[in-house]
Structure 1
């Protein structure tokens, strides 16, 4: 199967997840093209299936992903497709945080009109070493509230790689 993965990222975790998906799919003999949504990704037209992912920041997905979906809406709605949403709230034990992530994703899909076959929510990472002083403080406060690590001397990854592998293999069947 020929699969397109289009992603948008802020600190690189969504790119890392996309690359992992690419490796899993290629190991199962799928032909995979991966593209950053900010760099003129290919049309989904010549692909059998499409995975699109974005991280959430300030309760929104990247505008480049929204633009890509809207520009290719008819084709995406004809294809086997999935949306993967990357957000630290997925790692939280707070039920309301999970519900909020689902609402943000549904609002995005309602806004764009895209009807993917699957939606998957994936925990991201705290990239403290990449944050400026103020973002580091804000992310530390959020992490403390949600039970995440507040050690700002290093990055902390919360992505469940086994769950990502299961999602991708299920999608490709």
Structure 2
């Protein structure tokens, strides 16, 4: 089974997650290709399943991801596919933040016309050392509200790697092509 993994990222956590998904799939015996949406990613027709991910920044997903999905939604809607939304709100201790993350993803998918087989919500990372002064200040305030780390001298990763692995392997197992032998 051949997987295509497309991603859009801000500070690189979504890329890291996509690369990890590739590693997990290949370790399980599948073929996987990863592509940054900004670098002319391949069309989905050569693949058996497609995973598309984007980080959420100011309640929006990466424009390139939106454009890719809009361009290929008919094809994506006819094969196993998953959308992985990378969002700090997933790590929040506040239930309303979780609901907001789910709402943002739902509206995004409705607006693009893509109905993936599955939607996954994955906690991202606070990359304080990569932010400019203003963004660092804003992200620190958000993190404080959500019960997250506020020491801006270091970065914090909230991604649950074991959950990502289990989710990807479960998806692969449940979407195997049916053998006609």
TM-score, normalized by the shorter chain, greater than 0.5: yes
SS in 2 for 1:68: helix
1:171 aligned partner: 171
RMSD: 0.5
- Tell me if 1:73 matches 2:91: no
- Tell me if 1:155 matches 2:160: no
TM-score normalised according to structure 1 size:
0.99
Shift of 1:171: 1.0
Count residues in correspondence: 173
2:16 aligned partner: 16
Shift of 1:29: 1.1
1:26 aligned partner: 26
Shift of 1:146: 0.5
Deviating 4+ runs (over 3 angstroms)? none
2:130 aligned partner: 130
SS in 2 for 1:55: strand
Residue deviations 1:31-58, cap 9 Å, x none? 1110001111000001000000000001
2:40 aligned partner: 40
| Alignment of structure 1 residues 87-98 onto 2, 5 Å | 87-98=87-98
Residue deviations 1:83-123, cap 9 Å, x none? 00000000001010000001000001110110100000000
- Give me the whole-angstrom Cα distance separating, in 2, the residues matched to 1:39 and 1:166: 28
- Give me the whole-angstrom Cα distance separating, in 2, the residues matched to 1:79 and 1:39: 23
Question: Structure 1 regions of 5+ residues with no counterpart?
Answer: none
SS in 2 for 1:72: helix
2:51 aligned partner: 51
1:104 aligned partner: 104
2:7 aligned partner: 7
